[in-house]
């Protein structure tokens, strides 16, 4: 049975994660993992993320009118990313949790640097044929091991040159497929017990509330300012997780 302190922590993590996603359109897994991994442990944090992430990305992946076009262009990325999640979760199940916790800290810092600098990435164009499966493999392993696919998956998708609406839908489709594969892999490796699955389902409530508040908050503060606050906070969380992994 979960204690009141754990329930409050999960509620706060997913409320804040939903708030960030409501404002920016992404960020739920990053925020939830950054808070929960440092307290409950990375394996439990990844398991708790599953249900809210799947449900919230069903709508995002279905809306936009470019579903088939996205699949035609990115299937060679999505297939290996989905398949290699099992390998990443297998590594996670068999190693000291401090290692993936420290790795997640590093990935958060790298993604924050990308978000703050917003480098102009050149679309891969003809290189896409072989880059798609290569990035897919690394993305799947990283996602299964750390619960984050921001590096390299999201950065690569942002470099493909899609317009904003198509990119949002592409991210939704990618997150939906990979998180579903993550749930299957966690269950297959014994990392998704029934009590964590139930708590993950309950986390839908604060996530939905956070998204609702975030969407309203979006009109009161500029997205650019919120992005800066968000991406400056990520390195702090990343450094804290690295310190916990070292000590």
Separation between Cα atoms, residue 47 and residue 147, nearest integer Å: 9
> Tokens 């029934």 sit at which residue?
194
According to DSSP, residue 123 is labeled P
Q: Phi, psi (5° rounding) for residue 37?
A: -65, -35
pLDDT tens digits, one per residue of 28-64: 988 999 999 888 999 999 999 999 999 988 988 888 8
Question: Would you say the C-alpha torsion 43, 47, 48, 54 has a positive or negative sign?
Answer: positive
Separation between Cα atoms, residue 197 and residue 136, nearest integer Å: 27
Separation between Cα atoms, residue 111 and residue 158, nearest integer Å: 12
Number of domains in the chain: 1
pLDDT tens digits, one per residue of 76-126: 999 999 999 999 999 999 999 899 999 999 999 999 999 898 887 788 888
Question: Would you say the C-alpha torsion 136, 172, 35, 33 has a positive or negative sign?
Answer: negative
> Model's pTM, two decimal places?
0.90
Name the residue range of residue 223's domain: 4-246
Bond before 152 cis per omega within 30 degrees:
yes
Start-to-end CA distance of the chain, whole Å, equals 29
pLDDT at 152 (0 to 100): 93
């Amino acid at each position: 049975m979960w204690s009141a302190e754990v329930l409050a922590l999960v509620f706060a993590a997913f409320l804040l994660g939903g708030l960030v996603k409501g404002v920016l359109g992404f960020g739920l897994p990053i925020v939830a993992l950054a808070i929960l991994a440092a307290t409950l442990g990375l394996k439990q944090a990844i398991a708790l993320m599953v249900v809210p992430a799947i449900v919230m990305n069903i709508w995002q992946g279905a809306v936009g009118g470019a579903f088939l076009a996205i699949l035609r262009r990115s299937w060679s990325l999505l297939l290996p990313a989905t398949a290699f999640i099992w390998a990443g979760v297998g590594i996670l199940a068999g190693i000291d949790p401090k290692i993936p916790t420290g790795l997640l800290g590093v990935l958060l810092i790298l993604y924050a640097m990308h978000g703050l600098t917003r480098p102009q990435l050149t679309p891969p164009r003809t290189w896409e044929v072989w880059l798609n499966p290569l990035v897919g493999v690394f993305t799947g392993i990283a996602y299964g091991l750390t619960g984050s696919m921001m590096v390299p998956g999201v950065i690569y998708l942002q470099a493909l040159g899609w317009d904003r609406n198509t990119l949002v839908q592409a991210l939704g489709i990618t997150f939906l497929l990979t998180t579903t594969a993550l749930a299957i892999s966690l269950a297959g490796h014994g990392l998704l017990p029934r009590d964590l699955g139930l708590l993950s389902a309950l986390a839908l409530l604060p996530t939905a509330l956070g998204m609702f508040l975030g969407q309203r908050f979006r009109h009161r503060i500029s997205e650019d300012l919120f992005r800066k606050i968000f991406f400056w906070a990520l390195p702090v969380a990343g450094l804290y997780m690295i310190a916990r992994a070292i000590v």
